[in-house]
A and B are shown apart, each in its own frame.
Chain A
Amino acid sequence: MRHTDRQSDSSLSPALASDPRFTAVERTLKQYQYRPDALIEVLHVAQEAFGYLSDELMDHVARQLKVPLSRVYGVATFYHFFSLEPQGEHSCVVCTGTACYVKRSGEIVKRLEGEFGVKAGNTTADGKLTLSTVRCLGSCGLAPVVVLDGEIAGRNTPDSAAAAAHHLVAEGKPEKKPVAERPRRRGRRGGTP
């Protein structure tokens, strides 16, 4: 047996049980009255609180909702949102939806992969940055879109995206451009006199 102490519900390690982030998970379990169909909602909250789903968390959720362990793992790996590995300190997500693709977001991904020496979907060796891609954020009017720690930045070039990602890692927060300096697209402005 792998973890013999996991036989009862009270087997939760003291470290996790006393973790303040854990209360959010417990609250959600209660809110859904421990119904098995709440599995995905509970995993969302756990992922949000801890940044990833550890074996211990998934084991606990399985016991509380009375669903098989294998189902929890199957669900957690089926959906893109859930991560079983700790994430980097910061995140840089490049949209690769159709509108962004048409505006060459692929070049941005390549550039960032080169700059940080990490494939999309992975975290840099120093744990500073997780680089990933997403299929359409629904901000197609701003294509190509990059999201830095949750802040959406539109109309990127490989250069601007790389600069913004470096800024994020160096300064610890995304660069908030003064609104007036936002890049304006040149060329004919259809319909405007």
Chain B
Amino acid sequence: MIPSDLRAMAEQERERQEGFRCRIMVCAGTPCLSAGADVVLETLRQGIAEGGLDAEIESVATGCMGPCSRGPLVKVRSRGKEIVYERVTSESARQILFSVVKGRRPPTVSPLPPDLPFLARQERVVLANSGSVNPERIEEYVAAGGYEALSHALHEMTPDDVCREVSLSGLRGRGGAGYPTGVKWSLARKAPGERKYVVANGDEGDPGAYMDRSIMESDPHRVLEGMALAGYAIGAEQGFIYVRGEYHLAGRRLEGAIRDAERKGLLGSRVLGSNFNFRIDIRTGAGAFVCGEETSLMASIMGKRGQPWHRPPYPAQKGLWGNPTLINNVETFAAVPAVVGRGAEWFAAIGTPKSRGTKVYALCGQVEIAGLIEVPMGTTLREVVYEIGGGIPSGKRFKAAQSGGPSGGCIPASYLDTPLDYESMERIGTIMGSGGLIIMDETSCMPDVASFFLDFCRDESCGKCAPCRVGTVEMHRLLRRITSGTATMDDLVKLEELCELVGTTSLCGLGMTAPNPVLSTLRYFRDEYVDHIRQRRCTAGVCTIAENPAPGAEGEALLHAMGVPGEVE
């Protein structure tokens, strides 16, 4: 395929789509599918076939539309207007179809208002195609302007130009740390080495975050195009996508997308008629959070235990099989086609001076509308929770938002007006992370939340370095004593000391950030800790505090000294 073929393909597909009077899109992302989207789609297809409407109405399975808690979602596009229906059943699907045919409103199904902030307040860059193209048809991605950035880069730009464009855009890593993407690319570009690799990190392990899953499911070609652009920029011919094992659908769609792109000459040898060759392979994760850390991820790609190794040397210098390797998050790669296609200036104009562009968040927990949103960097938490998310259900009060998963922290109500960008979040003791935002109301107990995350970290610690391996277990034990009402104030001191040790001396990011949920809850909700210890009381009513505290560690220590082994959990 050469660039003119790409344009012809886009043209042809646009014409095909315009031939229909109406396009009915059904979200086929994991949440909507599990809410019954497959049945809805089947009903629509049946109805269209029965009514002989195949030439007039097209039904399409698309990716994520956003308000996942309201699924299954159906979007109707006719005469340039779009209407979204929530919680569609097969019965209401029939009504929707009927209304489309008759040009009337369905009698009992009301659509989401077009100005619903959840939909209207977003600015979709990475998610531009999510929910409107069929992720299983490459033509639809191409018709939406896909692979144009790659075509442009391969024929009009040098690899240096591409690196420069990415640097100028101010794009930063969307996986958590916010390292400038352009700098990373330039380092990998300059690193000496015959063979180089591009790796997309799709091992989204943060519990409560599913941005990457949704991007891979809804718009897989965007990720592939971003990776190909990176390959061209740094001089790599091989890419890997590391997909989290739990994400079957994402893996399947990526596999199909790679096959289609290779068949059309958009990946493989001599991409789009240029001299650039690029292959992408999928590697499936097998359930280890630590593999989100880049050195562990590479160990896993090479078929080993996912244990991190010491940096430097950084992957950009010495990565897979000792070769320079560029690792970016899936969302970062997904932003690249827009950066290269629409220009660095356009991208840099969105967001704040230091955090540019948009960010995708998974808004979940105790919030009226939960789902996936994309907003400009710097949008305040209040806007996200109260305007876009529709506030807290059942008239309860906002207590905290947990961001960044097990590496992040909590944002209390007093910081609701904090703009969500890298610097502001770091200032208040949390991190942007990959973009999970869990909203908690007054029914959440903060020491219990901290204990939940420490339980996670201790379970996911790889065991390589001593502070993380043993320290997280000891911290979790101390937290459990606090939440069960058996702790002393001395335990709190020990806990804080361990936070410092584990955070400072651990080998990799998992250990270094494991104390964050404890530190941030201690910072804003210390009273609750003290309440549990001194008053033996849990205000949120989450913790079960026994009438008579069980014998503390002294008893166990005595047994230990006598040589009686206990039980490890």
Contact = CB atoms under 8 A, between A and B. Distances in A.
A and B physically associate: yes
Given A140-B210, A179-B89, A180-B90, A99 B365 contact: yes
Contacts of B289: 135
Nearest to B453: A98
A142 B118 contact: no
Contact of B284 (A40, A138, A179): A40
Contact of A98 (B69, B371, B389, B436): B436
A191 B283 contact: no
Interface in A57-91: 67, 71, 74-75, 78-82
Interface of B: 30-31, 33-36, 39-40, 67-72, 86-87, 89-91, 110, 112-113, 116-118, 204-210, 213-214, 245-247, 283-289, 300-306, 362, 364-366, 368-371, 389-391, 393-395, 402, 405, 436, 438, 440, 444, 452, 456, 460, 462
B371 A141 contact: yes
Contact of B364 (A75, A99, A151): A99
Contacts of A185: 393
Given A142-B34, A154-B34, A187-B393, A81 B89 contact: no
A34 B208 CA distance: 37
Contacts of B110: 192-193
Contact of A75 (B30, B303, B371, B452): B303
Contacts of B117: 191
B364 A143 contact: yes
Interface string A168-193: 00000000000110101101111111
Given A37-B301, A98-B438, A101-B452, A138 B69 contact: no
Contact of A191 (B287, B390, B452): B390
A180 B35 CA distance: 10
Interface centre among A67, A135, A152 (most CB of B within 10 A): A135
B204 A142 contact: no
Contacts of A12: none
Contacts of A81: 245, 286-287
B362 A140 contact: yes
Interface size class of chain A, counting residues whose CB lies under 8 Å from the partner chain = 35 or more
Given A151-B34, A180-B89, A191-B113, 9 more contacts: A97-B207, A99-B208, A99-B365, A137-B30, A141-B31, A141-B69, A143-B365, A192-B112, A193-B110
Interface in A73-131: 74-75, 78-82, 96-99, 101-103
Given A40-B303, A142-B68, A191-B117, A98 B205 contact: no
A37 B36 contact: no
Nearest to B204: A138
A190 B36 contact: no
A185 B31 CA distance: 16
Top 8 A-B pairs ranked by shortest CB distance?
Answer: A190-B390, A141-B68, A80-B287, A138-B210, A98-B208, A97-B207, A79-B286, A152-B34
Contacts of A82: 286
Interface in A149-164: 151-154
Interface of A: 36-41, 43-44, 67, 71, 74-75, 78-82, 96-99, 101-103, 134-143, 145, 151-154, 179-180, 182, 184-185, 187-193
Contacts of A191: 112-113, 116-118, 368-369, 390
Nearest to A179: B36
Contacts of A145: 34
Nearest to A65: B303
A180 B91 contact: yes
A190 B68 contact: no
A190 B34 contact: no
Contacts of A37: 301-303
B303 A36 contact: yes
A137 B246 contact: yes
Interface centre among A153, A189, A191 (most CB of B within 10 A): A191
A60 B176 CA distance: 40
Contact of B368 (A41, A80, A190): A190
27 contacts: A37-B301, A40-B284, A40-B300, A44-B245, A44-B286, A78-B305, A79-B245, A81-B245, A98-B438, A99-B364, A99-B365, A101-B452, A137-B246, A140-B362, A143-B364, A143-B365, A152-B34, A153-B34, A154-B31, A179-B36, A179-B39, A179-B40, A182-B36, A182-B89, A188-B368, A190-B369, A192-B113
Contacts of A138: 30, 204, 209-210, 213-214, 246-247, 362
Contacts of A190: 368-369, 389-391, 393
A52 B452 CA distance: 29
B484 to A, nearest CB: 14
Nearest to A177: B36
Contact of A38 (B30, B90, B285, B303): B303
A99 B86 CA distance: 21
Nearest to B284: A44
Nearest to B118: A191
B90 A140 contact: no
A98 B30 CA distance: 18
Contact of B206 (A39, A136, A187, A188): A136
A120 to B, nearest CB: 12
A125 to B, nearest CB: 21
